[in-house]
Amino acid sequence: MPMSRVPRSRRFLVCEPRHFAVQYAINPWMHEDTQVDVDLARGQWADMVRAYRAHGHTVDSVEPVAGLPDMVFAANSALVVAGRVFGSLFHAPQRRPESTAYETWFKNAGFDVYRPEAVCEGEGDLVFAGRYLLAGTGFRTERAAHHEVQEFFGVPTVSLTLVDPRFYHLDTALFVLDDGPEANIAYYPEAFSAGSREVLRLLFPDAVIATHEDAMAFGLNSVSDGRHIFIAPRAEALAGELARHGYVPVPVDLSEFQKAGGGIKCCTQEIRS
């Protein structure tokens, strides 16, 4: 019998996709001629928010800014641990104004915000996993930012190199399943360099391994509260494997956002108190 998992209430920050569009191409999922169904996107996003609240989580929202179509991807704005905010500096110039918009929200909410000197895209490439901070590089966040974030939080930071441009952020190839010093993960090994795969194998010997199909369905761009896992419905094999490990998959369809290379986690910033 799988072990009983215990959820923990979370506080999430999101941004309504009022201005969501594909106006430029900065990853392989994006094509400038793609038409976005904004009504569908807003409906899917609202379903995600309802799912979070139905499972006992707090959801705050930042006001979207016209001309920033990717601002809906709140995870890229920062990493928040113990109430401290490590902000963002985006790789693409089109997204750099998002940092200021999110910084304003955090400051108005009473947080101090550290601005990184190196390119860093928040929880897109920084994943807090128990005693470690997993840090992605290869396409967006620079390795120098890994040193900055380690100095800021004082948490051992493990650099991981992404090698497949379809998985351009760490949160498209890996997510954390639970809290605590023995936190476990799910990931897609082929998204990583050989050395990084070995590091993950050593650190997380009991990790849940995703298939190529699950990864392409954005199944790893999921959010877990320690029991419930908010996951793309097309990642069926991964959902089944997670259920066998005692987790409860909660399907949330954000397929319209995949046109911009985004999913559930991309749209969700966790504020850890």
* Each residue's pLDDT tens digit, 106-163: 999 999 999 999 999 999 999 999 999 999 999 999 999 999 999 999 999 999 999 9
Give residue 2's pLDDT band: very low, low, confident or very high (50, 70, 90): low
Mean pLDDT, to the nearest integer, of 206-227? 98
Active site (annotated) includes residue 120: no
Among 130, 172, 159, residue whose Cα is nearest residue 29: 172
State the average pLDDT for the chain. Answer: 97
Q: What tens digit of pLDDT does each residue of 39-59 get? A: 999 999 999 999 999 999 999
pLDDT for res 4: 79
Mean pLDDT, to the nearest integer, of 7-36? 97
pLDDT for res 1: 40
Mean pLDDT, to the nearest integer, of 176-193? 95
Instruction: Please pick, among 120, 169, 228, 267, the residue that the annotation labels catalytic.
Output: 169
Mean pLDDT, to the nearest integer, of 154-183? 96
Active site (annotated) includes residue 266: yes
Instruction: Please pick, among 15, 120, 266, 267, the residue that the annotation labels catalytic.
Output: 266
pTM of the model: 0.97
pLDDT for res 183: 94
pLDDT for res 198: 98
Is residue 259's pLDDT more than 70?
Answer: yes
Give residue 3's pLDDT band: very low, low, confident or very high (50, 70, 90): low
pLDDT for res 180: 86
Q: What tens digit of pLDDT does each residue of 74-88 get? A: 999 999 999 999 999
